[in-house]
Structure 1
Amino acid sequence: MSGFARLFGKGKNGKGKSPSPQEAIQKLRETEEILVKKQEFFEQKIQQEVTTAKKHGTKNKRAALQALKRKKRYEQQLNQIDGTLSTIEFQRESLENATTNTEVLKTMSEAARAMKEAHQHMDIEKVDDLMADITEQQEIAQEISDAISRPVGFGDDIDEDDLLAELEELEQEDLEHELLSVGEEDLPSVPASKVPSVPASRVVEDDDDEMKELASWAS
């Protein structure tokens, strides 16, 4: 059984259990690792043959040419490995993408079934009726709020024109009061203190003195 056959689990008849996508991806990665190691091996061999050819040079052409021939064979095998590795990498990437797409589709399918189950007991007409009821109740609630916030009680039946007329009367009274106040300010002020009173005896004495003075003028 070849290494690739053992790697992919195939028998002599070429038949075997098909690996899962994850198993196939893992085996492809293992194959890549083997090929990379072979690349490194042949690259080392090529470098060794180049060194050998340089060492012999023209002194030992036969040995130098043999080294170059071996280098050519190693390079051919290295080119084959490079091609095989590219194919393996492409196959692994394709399988990984396919696996990812499968998982995405599986998830979307499960989500679709879950959505269908969620909508199974829903009727679009019932939903429309429910939304209509909700809208109606919101309108009623708004009307109730408006009614509660509207002022009630004394003053609702008072005519605004009557209030304006009363305001004009008050302003007229204030104006007349100001005019009267201006007229009173122009009059001289009366002293608040009283004139001192003269005793009666002093008045009699003053009269006697005046009579005596008149009598002397007459004589």
Structure 2
Amino acid sequence: MSKIAKLFKGSSSSSSSSSKHHRSRGGPSPQEAIHKLRETEEMLTKKQDYLEKKIEEELMTAKRHGTKNKRAALQALKKKKRLEQQLTQIDGTLSTIEFQREALENSHTNTEVLKNMGYAANAMKKVHENMDVGKIDDLLQDITEQQDVAREISDAISSPFGDTFDEDELLAELAELEEEDMENNMMSMGGLPSVPSSRMPSAPQSHRASAKKRVEEDDDMRMLASWAT
């Protein structure tokens, strides 16, 4: 029996006893199954490393013997081929296990999500147990009424105090004032400028004194001219 067969036989017998133990207590949990799959992946990965090293060794043996010892070289190449077949099988097994583990992890995640959503739904249901739709409507109506009262109070506070006047009457009075002012401007522009009633200002005293002095000097000049003749 090959080592791989023994390996899987031992693993299957262990899994069988483990399965019986799990069935006795209701089956393995998702976490346990995921853990087992990860252990299997780790074991097969180590097996891959071992096979790759053995393949490299057989290849080196075949090269070392070469045509000098064809029988030993061919034997090494045949063993290398068998090891490569085992490596290929392990690659396929790892892919299958990885796919199964990812599917189980996704299922476990979905289960946890649904469980938590159900837990939240129950909590919401418990919160709403003490709520009455009729009471909520009454509460909303009370809130609306209080908002209306607050709006009325605000309008009353913001309204102006004191005497109130009719705006139309004030506008009519303003129009009359403008019309009267326009008529006054037209009358002042159409009439002749009035003659000032006040007397013209008299000449200054100094100007009159100078004129009198010139007259006296002219008389003196005439007298001297008559003596000379």
- Change in Cα spacing, 1:173 to 1:44, as seen in structure 2 (3 Å) is same
* Secondary structure in 2 matching 1:59: coil
| Aligned counterpart in structure 1 of residue 45 of structure 2, from 21, 36, 42 | 36
Question: Is 2:24 the partner of 1:15?
Answer: no
Question: Is 2:44 the partner of 1:27?
Answer: no
Question: Is 2:7 the partner of 1:2?
Answer: no
CA deviation after TM superposition for structure 1 residue 195, in Å: 4.1
Question: Is 2:133 the partner of 1:128?
Answer: no
Question: In structure 2, what is the Cα distance between the partners aligned to 1:23 and 1:145?
Answer: 69
Structure 2, unpaired ranges of 5+:
1-8, 204-229
Question: Is 2:194 the partner of 1:187?
Answer: yes
| Aligned counterpart in structure 1 of residue 110 of structure 2, from 101, 104, 107 | 101
* Secondary structure in 2 matching 1:85: helix
Question: In structure 2, what is the Cα distance between the partners aligned to 1:53 and 1:153?
Answer: 119
Question: In structure 2, what is the Cα distance between the partners aligned to 1:187 and 1:53?
Answer: 144
Question: Is the helix fraction higher in 1 or 2?
Answer: 2
CA deviation after TM superposition for structure 1 residue 3, in Å: 4.9
* Secondary structure in 1 matching 2:180: helix
- Change in Cα spacing, 1:141 to 1:37, as seen in structure 2 (3 Å) is same
Question: In structure 2, what is the Cα distance between the partners aligned to 1:67 and 1:177?
Answer: 134
- Change in Cα spacing, 1:135 to 1:184, as seen in structure 2 (3 Å) is same
The CA deviation string for residues 172-216 of structure 1, in whole angstroms up to 9 with x for no partner, is 3322443454467823446666547xxxxxxxxxxxxxxxxxxxx
Aligned residues: 191
The CA deviation string for residues 101-153 of structure 1, in whole angstroms up to 9 with x for no partner, is 12101100110110000100111222122222222322332233223222243
Tell me the residue number matched to 1:208. Answer: none
| Aligned counterpart in structure 2 of residue 169 of structure 1, from 166, 169, 176 | 176
Paired residue type of 2:168: D
TM-score (ref. length: structure 2): 0.71
TM-score (ref. length: structure 1): 0.74
CA deviation after TM superposition for structure 1 residue 160, in Å: 3.2
Question: In structure 1, what is the Cα distance between the partners aligned to 2:16 and 2:198?
Answer: 137
Percent identity of equivalent pairs: 61
Tell me the residue number matched to 2:219. Answer: none
* Secondary structure in 1 matching 2:21: coil
CA deviation after TM superposition for structure 1 residue 24, in Å: 2.5
* Secondary structure in 2 matching 1:153: coil
Question: In structure 2, what is the Cα distance between the partners aligned to 1:80 and 1:149?
Answer: 90
| CA RMSD between the two structures | 2.8
Paired residue type of 1:72: K
